[in-house]
Each structure stands twice: as C-alpha cells, then as structure tokens.
Amino acid sequence: MQLLQPRQIDILDIARKEGRVEVENLASQFEVTPQTIRKDLNELCDMEKLQRVHGGAIFPSNTVNLAYQSRRDMASEGKVRIAQAVAELVPNNSSVILNIGTTTEQVAYALRHHLGLMAITNNLNVALILSEAENVEVVITGGMVRKSDRGIVGAAAVDLIRQFKVDFAIIGASAIDEEGELLDFDYREVRVAQAIIEQARRKILVADQMKFQRRAPVQIGRLADIDYFVTDAPPPKKIERLCRESNVELIIAG
C-alpha cells in the first residue's frame, strides 16, 4: 500500500474542506512547482482519494454534498454565463419556479430586471435576491429550512408547488451521469425538484461542467425530461447525443 507524503495529506485535507483544489494555488501555498503538485494530484487520483479535473482535482464525495460556499465558488464565472443565457430564454410577463442551488441563485440575479415576472422558489437565497426587484412577484414555499444552504424541503414545499402551473422550471442538479440521469444528495430536495418539473410547461436544466465529474445517489429525473440544457462548456459526447435524440436544446453559454 502506497504511503502518503506529508504534503499529500495536507492537500487531501484542503480538498475535503473546500471540495476542490487548484494546481496553481497549491503550488504557491506549498512553495513548489506546478509539476510537483500535478504529480501529487495524479498519485492521489490513482489511489482514488481525489478525482482529477481541469486545473486541479475535487474530493470524490458520492453521498455527502460539498460545503455550500465551496460550491458557490466552483465554476462561478461559468454559472454567471449560464444565468445570462437563461435570462434570455425567459420573456417578460412569465412565471418561473427555481429550485435550490448556487447556479439557480445566479439565474435569480439575472432575472431581476424582468418585467411582470412571478417567481416561485424553495430557495431562501433566491427569494431574497428577487425580493429586491421592483417588477418581480415572489412566492416562497413552506417547509423546513435546511441550514446548510437555506433550501426549503419537505412535503409542505411540494404541496405549495403543486398549486401552480408555470411557464418555466429552472432546475439545478448536483450531478449528471453519462446515461443522462439527473442526480442529487437529499431525497427530500429531490421530491421538490420532481414536483417543480411536473408543474412546468417548459423545463430548463442549468448545470456547469463540474456536474459531469461528480456523483450523487438520488435520481431527480432524466435529461430526456428537459426542454433546454444550459451549461458553460461542451458536455461529454454521449450527453450531446442524448440531447439530440431527446430533442433537448443544448445551449453552451459563452
């Protein structure tokens, strides 16, 4: 069994806390070359302690979601581009439901200048963002507030959502596997997301490229259930093919 070097132990600890590590940041922090860090990361990935991604590595959690602030920081520029593309899809005088997620929060920022918008959400962060918009009416679900991300989950949230039939559902997911399954970590959140999909005439999936490199245990639905898939980089070829076969409009933002 290969023993970890002290620096590799420290790198693992950082990845566990923050969800992701970057080559350049680690090289600066440990005062070594990027090549040395890449070697460390490759060895950690060979031992299946990390998963390699462009520019660094992520902690391979399959059952526990990453810390909320870490998820906010990951691919943040891509999430802004995704949000801007979604805002162009949604016309004024529409109704939308947004679920929990850092990407849907960015969509909320991008929708603040819409006119005559009704927004239903189980995300306290989204509700606060949109409540500052003069021409947006905000409806928030009842239920238990999850302290980790201010998401509202449970049967009460599902019950309220089922009272609406909206123009657009804007859905985030924690992971997308190569079979086109949309995945998340909390079964209570998944039930809310499924209700959102059911109560919308058109469904928009928002997911940055990191979602193809993660795994989660609970199924929300399938890519084939979606009308628009907005992401920040070309997805794997198998996902592109699934979009074509299922008539899902793939939009690569930026």
Position 118 pLDDT exceeds 80: yes
Q: pLDDT category, 132, cuts 50, 70, 90? A: confident
**Range 61-69 average pLDDT:** 48
pLDDT confidence of residue 70: 52
pLDDT confidence of residue 61: 56
Give me the CATH code for the 70-252 domain, please: 3.40.50.1360
**Range 5-12 average pLDDT:** 89
Position 157 pLDDT exceeds 60: yes
% of the chain exceeding 90 in pLDDT: 62
Mean pLDDT over the full length of the chain: 88
Domain boundary assignment for the chain: 6-60, 70-252
pLDDT confidence of residue 65: 46
Beta-strand (E) ranges in 38-159?
Answer: 51-53, 56-58, 95-98, 117-121, 136-140, 144-146, 151-153
pLDDT confidence of residue 49: 83
**Contact partners, residue 68, CB within 8 Å, separation at least 6:** 102, 148, 149
Q: pLDDT category, 28, cuts 50, 70, 90? A: very high
Give me the CATH code for the 6-60 domain, please: 1.10.10.10
> Over the stretch 134-155, which tens digit does the pLDDT of each residue have?
999 999 999 888 887 788 988 9
d(CA 139, CA 120) in angstroms, rounded, equals 5
> Over the stretch 72-95, which tens digit does the pLDDT of each residue have?
445 478 899 999 999 999 999 999
Strand order in the sheet with 51-53: 20-22, 56-58, 51-53
d(CA 150, CA 148) in angstroms, rounded, equals 6
pLDDT confidence of residue 51: 80
